[in-house]
Structure 1
Amino acid sequence: MNTPTTVSTIISTTAPTNQTEWQALAEKLDFETRAYINDRFVDAQSGNTLTTINPATGSVLAEVASCDDADAALAVKAAQEAFQRGDWARRSPTQRKVTLLKLADLMQDHKHELALLDTLDMGKPISSALGDIDGAISCLRYTAESIDKLYGEVAPTGDNNLGLIVREPLGVVAAIVPWNFPLMMTAWKIAPALAAGNSVILKPSEKSPLSALRLASLSKQAGLPMGVFQVLPGYGHTVGKALALSMQVDCLAFTGSTQVGKQLMQYAGQSNLKRVYLECGGKSPNIIFADCQNLDKAAQHAATAIFHNQGEVCIAGSRLLVENSIREDFVARVVKAAEQMQPGDPLDPESFMGAMVDETQYRRVLDYIQQGQEEGATLRAGGEPLNGPGLFIPPTIFDDVTPKMAVGREEIFGPVLAVFGFDNEDEALALANDSDFGLAAGVWSQNIDRVMRVSRKLQSGQVYVNNWAGPDMTVPFGGVKQSGNGRDKSLHSLDEYTEIKTIWMSLQP
C-alpha cells in the first residue's frame, strides 16, 4: 500500500537527531510493495512476491511484488506507447527540466523517509543514506538544469549545403541498478535518460526495492506522463532478463557485477543489438608514496575508502599499495583509523558502518577472510564477525598480500583491505595495473611530476590525487577493462541516452 500522508509529512518536516528518533520513525513507516506499471501500482501478474529483510535485525520488512516476463512485456508496451505519443519525448527541454526539478524538490521534501527506506532495506548507516539522497537530488537537479543548455551542431559545409547534427532520445531505456546505493545509483541512470526524453523502466535490486517504489509515487506527483517512468521489482534472472532480451528496449543501463554485465551484453546480441552501458566490478588500487606529506590524512582516507558503506562499494580502495620505506608506520595508522570505524546499529547517526546486505554477502566476505589467512596474508585487524543479531563484520586488514592471493585479486565487496608493499614507482604501477578491473585508483604524493606520470599510466577510468572519491557531478564516473564501458554523471552521461542524427540539406536553387 502507499505510504500514508501523515507519515510522509512527519518525515519531511522533522529531522531526527538520534537513534531513538530514527527508530520511532521506522516503526511508523508503511511500505509500497507493488510494481508501478503504466501509472498504476499493481501486483505482479503471477502473484509472486519476494521477501525483503532488514539485515541489521533479521526481521522481515515486506513482501514485494516479484515481476517476471509478463510484467516486463506490459511495462515495455506502455513505455513504447508513451515514447510514440511524444508527450514526454517531444516536450521541450525546458518543460522536461521543470518536471524533473519538481521531482527533485519532492525528493528533498521526503529526504528522511527515502534515506530511512534504504537504511532499513540494505543495512547502510542512516548518516550515509542521507548523503546518498543528497547525491541523488544533486544529480537530478544538475542534469535537469543541463538539458536546455545543450546545443546541436552545424557541419562545415559549402554554400550549397547545410549539415545539421542533432541529438534525439533513444526510446525505451531499461535501468538495472544495484543494492549498495539504491537511490543514488537510480538517479545516476534515470536523470539523464529522462532528461533526454526517453521512457525509463527501472529494475531495482531484489535486495533493496523499497526506495525505488517510493520514488515511483513521487514521480507521479511530479507530473511525469503515463508510461514514461515505471518500476519493476524482481529478480535479475526473471524480469531483468526479460528486459534485456526485449526487442523493444533500446538501451540497457546497468551497475553491478562484471559477471552479470557480460550476460547482459550477450542478451543484447541475442535480441536487437540494444545499447548496453555497464558500470561493473572493481579492485581499485590506492597508492601511497613516501613523499606523501600528510600521512595521517592519507591513512584516514585509505580506511574510509574501503570501510565506508561496509566496503560494499564498487570503487572501494580495496588494494592499498604502500612504499616499503613507510609501510609499517602507515599501516599502523590505517589500523588506528579503522578502530574508529566499527559497525553499529544503522539507525544510530554515530555508526560509521552498518550491516552486510544479506546472509549471502555476509558469508561470502567471511569466506574470503578465511581464505586470506589460509593463503598466508598477515591479519592486522578484524577477521571475526560481531556476536549477536544482525550481519555485522568489522574492518578487516590484511598485510603482506601478493597478487596471486584471492584477497588481492578478486572483488570481495566487503570491509576487507589488502595491503601490498612496493619499492619504486615502476613497481607500484605494475601492481596497480595487474588487475582485470579499472574503475578507480588513488595516488598520494606531493611530487607533481610523479602525480602526472602515474595518473596517465594508471589503467583506470578515474584517478583521485591526494583524496579518495572526491568528485562531484561535474565529472564523469565509469571504468575501463572489465569494470565496464559507460559513464554516469556530468554532461557526458547524456551521450549514453541520445542518438546522433545527421540532417543534410541541399540549398541549390
Structure 2
Amino acid sequence: MTVQAVLDEIRGIPGTGDVIPIIDPATEEQITEFTDAGPEAINAAVARAKAAANSKVWSAMPDYDRAKVLWKVADLIDQNAELLADLESVNTGIPPIQAQTIVKVGSEWFRYYAGWCTKIDGIARDVNTGGLTGVESHMHAYTLREPYDVVALIFPWNGPVFNFCAKLAPALAAGCSTVVKPAEETPLSALVLTRILAEAGVPDGVVNLVNGYGHTAGALLTAHPDVDKVAFTGSTEVGREIVHSAASSNLNKVTLELGGKSPVLIFDDADLDTATAMAGFGCFLHSGQVCMLGSRIFVQRGVYDRVVDGLATLANNLQLGGPKDEGAMIGPLISDKQLKRVMGYLEQGRTEGVELVTGGHRIDRQGYFVHPTIATKVDPTSSRLFHEEIFGPIVTVLPFDDEDEGIALANDTDYGLAGTIWTTNLGRAHRLAKEVKAGTVGLNCQLQFDHSMPFGGYKQSGWGYEAGKAGIETYLQSKTVWAQM
C-alpha cells in the first residue's frame, strides 16, 4: 500500500455529512478529502462493537491467544513502519525522523500490553463476616476484572499513530470492543492501522473506525447510549463537553488526557548548557503542539539573562521546514485555524506589553510556519500567554529568586500535566518534585516516557491515566463475588 492509495481510499469511504478537506500543513495544499460519517455510520459502528462484545468473540478468547494477536499487530506495524511514518509526516508536517520515532513507539504499545493479557486478575479472601445481617458466616469472596463492552476512543491530531496505539492497545488487552475516531485533520494512518489489526487476527466488529468532526461524529459517540466508556485526548474545553455529554446520556465512564501549561524550573546550580538546550527543545518540539511541553520556563535570577540568551540562540538556529526539506527540525502548525490562533496570542501579548526576544512572526514561505518565540516581561497575574494553553511555538520565560517563589509560579496554573526541575542539588530536586502539582515531573530531564510508567494529569489536565498497569485498569471494571461456604 502507498501513501497515494491511502489518500484515494479515504476519499471513497461513504458518509452523509460534510466533505472535509485534508490539507498538507507544510504546503497548504489539499491532498485529499473525506465525508463526515453521519449518524447512520456512527450507529452502525457502535452496533457492530456491541454485537462483538455480546458474542465475546474477543473478550472470551484465551488470554495467551489474545496476547499473540497483539504481538502480531506490533510486528505488522514495524513491517509497515515506512508507510505509517510517511503518512504521519504528510498529515502533520513533522520531520521524517520524528515520524519514524512515533511509529516505533506505537508498535511497542502493543508489545507491552500483550504481556498484560495474562496478568489481569483480582483478589480472593476467606472472610468471617456478619455482613449487613449481623449473622456471622464463613464466606469466600473474590473479585473479577471485566472489560467494558463498548469503548469510544477519540484522539487528536498531534501524533495520530502514537495516540491510536496508546488507547487501542490497552483497550484490546482488557478485552473491550471499540469504536475509534481520529481527528478530522489527521485520519490517514488510522486506515492502515485498522487494516493491520484485521490482518493480525482481531475479529470483525472489535475495532470500528469512523471519521468526522468532533462536534458531529465525536459528539454522537460520547452521547451514544450503547457506549459504556469514552477515552479522549484533546483540549480541556472539549473534555468538559464530553463530561457533560456523559452525564446527560448514560453516565458512561470517562478517561481524559487534556491540556497542559507545564513549568520548567532552572536553578542557578544547574548544568545550564544542558538545561537550556533541553528546555528549548522541550517547548518547541512539533512547533509546540505537544500537551506536556514546558511552555513556561522559570529561571533563577542570577542566571536569567544567560539562559534567555541561550534559548534565543537555539530558537534562531532551529531549522523550520516540511517533511521534504532536508535538515528540518521543526515542522509547521497543523492548520490555518491553528495558525490564526497562535498569531492571535502573539498580538494579544504585544498589547499586554510582552517583550518578544525572538520570533513572534510567521515564516515567509508556504505552510503554517511560525518562528519559535521567546516572550519575557510577561505579567503572571493576568497574561493569557502565561495562563492559557497556546499549542504553538511560544514560551514565556520569567525570573524567580528562591524555591518558594519558583514553586508558586510553577503551580500558578489550572493545568497539571508535567513539570521539570533543573538543579544539581539532589535534595532540592526530590523535595521540590513533591511540591510540583503535576502528574509527571522530570528531574534534570524532559520529555521522558516509557510504556510501563503511568501518564496522566492533575487539576484540569485530565482524569485517569494511560500507560503502565494503570493504563489497562482504565478499561476494566471490578466485580465482587460472595460465596457462602
Distance in 1, Cα, partners of 2:70 & 2:479 = 25
13, 18, 29: which is aligned to 1:59? 29
1:85 paired to 2:55 = yes
Distance in 1, Cα, partners of 2:326 & 2:245 = 42
Distance in 1, Cα, partners of 2:125 & 2:428 = 41
Percent identity of the aligned residues? 36
Q: After the TM superposition, which residues 175-214 of structure 1 pair with which residues of structure 2 at under 5 Å, given as runs? A: 175-214=153-192
* Partner SS for 1:491: helix
Aligned pairs, how many?
Answer: 476
Deviation of residue 348 (structure 1)? Answer: 3.7
Distance in 1, Cα, partners of 2:177 & 2:403 = 48
* Corresponding residue number in structure 1 for 2:133: none
Distance in 1, Cα, partners of 2:194 & 2:348 = 42
Deviation of residue 350 (structure 1)? Answer: 2.3
67, 70, 78: which is aligned to 2:40? 70
Distance in 2, Cα, partners of 1:347 & 1:97 = 38
Which segment drifts farther, 249-258 or 380-389?
A: 380-389
1:119 paired to 2:97 = no
Distance in 1, Cα, partners of 2:203 & 2:51 = 11
* Partner SS for 2:208: strand
Deviation of residue 442 (structure 1)? Answer: 0.5
Deviation of residue 349 (structure 1)? Answer: 5.6
* Corresponding residue number in structure 2 for 1:152: 122
* Corresponding residue number in structure 2 for 1:297: 274
1:396 paired to 2:373 = yes
* Cα-to-partner distance string for 1:402-453 (whole Å, 9 max, x where unaligned): 2121111111000001011100101011111110111100011111221122
295, 301, 320: which is aligned to 1:343? 320
2:126–2:139 contact (8 Å) kept in structure 1? no
* Corresponding residue number in structure 1 for 2:7: 31
Distance in 2, Cα, partners of 1:31 & 1:94 = 36
Distance in 2, Cα, partners of 1:426 & 1:206 = 43
243, 251, 255: which is aligned to 2:221? 243
Which segment drifts farther, 203-212 or 443-452?
A: 443-452
Deviation of residue 47 (structure 1)? Answer: 6.4
* Corresponding residue number in structure 2 for 1:217: 195
Distance in 2, Cα, partners of 1:362 & 1:33 = 28
Q: Which amino acid aligns with 2:185?
A: K
Relative distance call for 1:498 and 1:115 in structure 2 (3 A) is same
Deviation of residue 118 (structure 1)? Answer: 1.4
1:32–1:210 contact (8 Å) kept in structure 2? no
* Partner SS for 1:31: helix
* Partner SS for 1:398: strand
1:422–1:428 contact (8 Å) kept in structure 2? yes
* Corresponding residue number in structure 2 for 1:19: none
Deviation of residue 147 (structure 1)? Answer: 2.0
* Corresponding residue number in structure 1 for 2:311: 334
- Note the residue ranges of structure 2 that are not aligned, 5 or more in a row: 129-136
1:307–1:341 contact (8 Å) kept in structure 2? no
* Corresponding residue number in structure 1 for 2:356: 379
Q: Which amino acid aligns with 1:186?
A: F
Q: Which amino acid aligns with 2:387?
A: R
2:120–2:145 contact (8 Å) kept in structure 1? no
Q: Which amino acid aligns with 2:77?
A: M
1:285 paired to 2:263 = yes
* Cα-to-partner distance string for 1:247-273 (whole Å, 9 max, x where unaligned): 100000000000000000000001110
Distance in 2, Cα, partners of 1:442 & 1:32 = 44
Q: After the TM superposition, which residues 228-267 of structure 1 pair with which residues of structure 2 at under 5 Å, given as runs? A: 228-267=206-245
Which segment drifts farther, 120-129 or 416-425?
A: 120-129
Distance in 2, Cα, partners of 1:296 & 1:68 = 53
- Note the residue ranges of structure 1 that are not aligned, 5 or more in a row: 8-25, 36-40
Deviation of residue 484 (structure 1)? Answer: 0.7
* Partner SS for 2:392: coil
Which segment drifts farther, 433-442 or 152-161?
A: 152-161
* Cα-to-partner distance string for 1:368-420 (whole Å, 9 max, x where unaligned): 11221221121111111111211111211111222121111111000001011
447, 455, 473: which is aligned to 2:433? 455
Distance in 2, Cα, partners of 1:300 & 1:452 = 22
1:313 paired to 2:290 = yes
Distance in 2, Cα, partners of 1:65 & 1:477 = 34
Deviation of residue 115 (structure 1)? Answer: 1.1
Distance in 2, Cα, partners of 1:278 & 1:314 = 13
Q: Which amino acid aligns with 1:201?
A: V
* Corresponding residue number in structure 2 for 1:10: none
Which segment drifts farther, 207-216 or 59-68?
A: 59-68
* Partner SS for 1:492: helix
Deviation of residue 34 (structure 1)? Answer: 4.2
1:126–1:348 contact (8 Å) kept in structure 2? no
Relative distance call for 1:476 and 1:309 in structure 2 (3 A) is same
Distance in 2, Cα, partners of 1:266 & 1:345 = 39
1:440–1:460 contact (8 Å) kept in structure 2? yes
63, 76, 80: which is aligned to 1:110? 80
Relative distance call for 1:52 and 1:468 in structure 2 (3 A) is same
* Partner SS for 1:355: coil
432, 438, 444: which is aligned to 2:422? 444
Distance in 2, Cα, partners of 1:121 & 1:471 = 24
1:43 paired to 2:14 = yes
* Partner SS for 1:384: coil
445, 460, 468: which is aligned to 1:490? 468
Deviation of residue 458 (structure 1)? Answer: 1.1
Q: Which amino acid aligns with 2:293?
A: A
Q: After the TM superposition, which residues 136-151 of structure 1 pair with which residues of structure 2 at under 5 Å, given as runs? A: 136-151=106-121
Alpha-carbon RMSD across the aligned residues, in angstroms, is: 1.5
Which segment drifts farther, 258-267 or 389-398?
A: 389-398
Distance in 2, Cα, partners of 1:128 & 1:467 = 19
TM-score (norm 1): 0.91
Which segment drifts farther, 257-266 or 52-61?
A: 52-61
* Partner SS for 1:77: helix
334, 338, 342: which is aligned to 1:365? 342
1:168 paired to 2:146 = yes
